[in-house]
Amino acid sequence: MRSRADNSLAERKRQLVADELRDAALMLLATKGFDLVTVDDIVAAAGMSRRTFFRYFASKEDVVVRFLADTSTDIIAELTSRPPAEPPSVALRHALWVPLAACNDHPEHSERARVVVRLILDTPALHARWLERQIEWRAELAAELANRIGHDPNTDPYPRMAAGMALLALDTVLQRWQPGDDEQHLAELMDQAFAVVAPALDAPTASYRAESPSPLS
C-alpha cells in the first residue's frame, strides 16, 4: 500500500507535468495563434509525448479551459476569505484581482498573460468557452455573495446581478489591458472599473425586499 507521502509526491509530479504542458501550450498559442498551433507543436516544446499530453488534456482548447477553471477556484477562495463586514465592492474587487496579480509575479509573465487573454477574447472558439465559464463563475460568486449577506439567491436578484456587474468590470479591464501595462496601471484600471459599479454593489441591500411592490405596478 502506498503511503500518504508517496501519493502526495506522485500528485506533485503529475501537477508539474500538467503545468509544463500548460505553459508550453499557452506560450505557443500566445505567439503563433490558436489555429496555427498543433498538439505536436505543444509536446515538442514541452519535450513530452502526445500520449502524455492526452493523459492530461483532451485538446489544445482544453488547456485554456482548464486554465480558466483554475482561475475560478482562486477567485472564489479569495472571496470566501474576505472579512464578512467588508463592502461587497471591496470583497469582489480583491477576489477578481487575484488572477491578475498572479500574472504580474514576474514581468515576462504579465505580457504573456496579456497575450493569452487577448487570444481568448479574439478567438471565437475560446471566447465562447470564456463566456460559458463566466456563467459558472457568476453562479459561484452569487452563491458566496448570498451567503455573506444572508439573502436567498433564488428569490433575491441582488446576488446574481452583483456577480454579473463584477464580472463585467473584470471584462472591461481585460479589454483595456494594453502592451506594456505594469501591475500598477492594471490595478488602476481595476479601480476605475469598480468605482463605476461600487454604488450599485454597495447599495443598502439589507433593507431590500424582493417582495416589495414594483413602482411600475
Q: CA distances (Å), 216 to each of 157, 207, 212, in order?
A: 17, 20, 11
Q: Distance between CA 164 and CA 77 in Å, rounded? A: 18
Residue 161, pLDDT above cutoff 70: yes
Cell of 159: 446576488
CB of 173 closer than 8 Å to CB of 155: no
**Which pLDDT score, from 0 to 100, does residue 124 have?**
87
Query: Given pLDDT bands bounded at 50, 70 and 90, which one contains residue 206?
Result: very low
Q: Distance between CA 141 and CA 89 in Å, rounded? A: 12
Residue 1, pLDDT above cutoff 80: no
Query: Which pLDDT tens digit goes with each residue over 29-66?
Result: 888 888 899 999 999 999 999 999 999 998 888 888 77
Cell of 203: 447599495
**Which pLDDT score, from 0 to 100, does residue 71 have?**
77
pTM of the full predicted structure? 0.78
Q: Distance between CA 190 and CA 173 in Å, rounded? A: 6
